[in-house]
């Protein structure tokens, strides 16, 4: 996980922060769909990280049609392309027209490259974006540098920290 790449910095996101940033993304997407009133047809979450922001966005935009797509990345000695191992309902998403595809972040853009092939007309949105992956997203909220690892609230726990003086009392 964290040893996948040698990251210089860490960006730690709380549940509260994620909620606010996902809401900001929903605000940006509201009324931007291709429907007459700018409505979106469905939300597709990229599992698993996209599910929390997708739920928040579906709630804010009152979208009840929610599905998932699962992409598996293979990291063997010879790195092969990520593959879709679970597709959304084809009758619901079609070629992606009017569909909002949501993920927590884009890093290299490999995951979204595969998802875009599956739903070429979808609007792809992530909460966070790194520069390498930015060309793959239509909308995002916060950019972080490529050498930053983003820590999500579901991967963290509250813990004690020493005071700046280093003395514990
Ligand atoms: O832009 P990329 O370099 O492809 O990386 C971004 C993807 O990596 C993470 O998912 P991961 O595959 O770790 O699975 P998870 O969502 O189940 O944690 C993250 O949630 C994105 O989906
Ligand atoms: O920065 C990241 N944080 C969490 N998961 C990830 N998957 C790719 N990049 C990241
Ligand atoms: Mg993911």
Instruction: Name which residue leads in pLDDT, 167 or 55.
Output: 55
Q: Is 106 in the pocket of ligand 1 (CB under 6 A)?
A: yes
**Among 54-58, 74-78, 108-112, 153-157, which is the least confidently predicted range?**
74-78
Q: Is 90 exceeded by the pLDDT of residue 103?
A: yes
For residue 82, the ligand 1 atom closest to its alpha carbon is 4
For residue 102 the two structure tokens come to 């949501």
Answer whether 109's CB lies under 8 Å from 133's CB: yes
* pLDDT tens-digit map of 83-102: 999 999 999 999 999 999 99
> Pocket of ligand 1, candidates 52, 68, 104, 132: which has the most ligand atoms within 8 Å of its Cβ, to mutate?
104
* pLDDT tens-digit map of 128-154: 999 999 999 999 999 999 999 999 999
The domain defined by 9-155 folds into Rossmann fold (3.40.50)
Interface confidence: ipTM more than 0.85: yes
Flag whether 105 is marked binding: yes
């Amino acid at each position: 996980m964290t040893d996948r790449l040698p990251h210089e910095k860490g960006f730690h996101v709380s549940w509260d922060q994620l909620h606010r940033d996902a809401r900001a993304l929903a605000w940006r997407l509201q009324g931007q769909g291709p429907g007459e009133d700018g409505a979106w047809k469905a939300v597709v979450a990229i599992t698993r990280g996209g599910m929390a922001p997708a739920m928040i966005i579906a709630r804010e935009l009152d979208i009840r049609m929610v599905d998932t797509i699962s992409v598996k990345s293979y990291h063997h000695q010879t790195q092969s392309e990520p593959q879709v191992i679970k597709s959304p309902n084809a009758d619901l998403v079609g070629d992606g027209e009017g569909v909002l595809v949501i993920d927590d972040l884009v890093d290299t853009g490999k995951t979204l490259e595969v998802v875009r092939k599956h739903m070429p007309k979808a609007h792809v949105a992530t909460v966070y974006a790194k520069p390498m992956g930015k060309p793959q997203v239509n909308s995002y909220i916060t950019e972080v540098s490529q050498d930053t690892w983003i820590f999500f609230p579901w991967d963290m726990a509250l813990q004690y920290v020493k005071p700046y003086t280093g003395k514990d009392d």
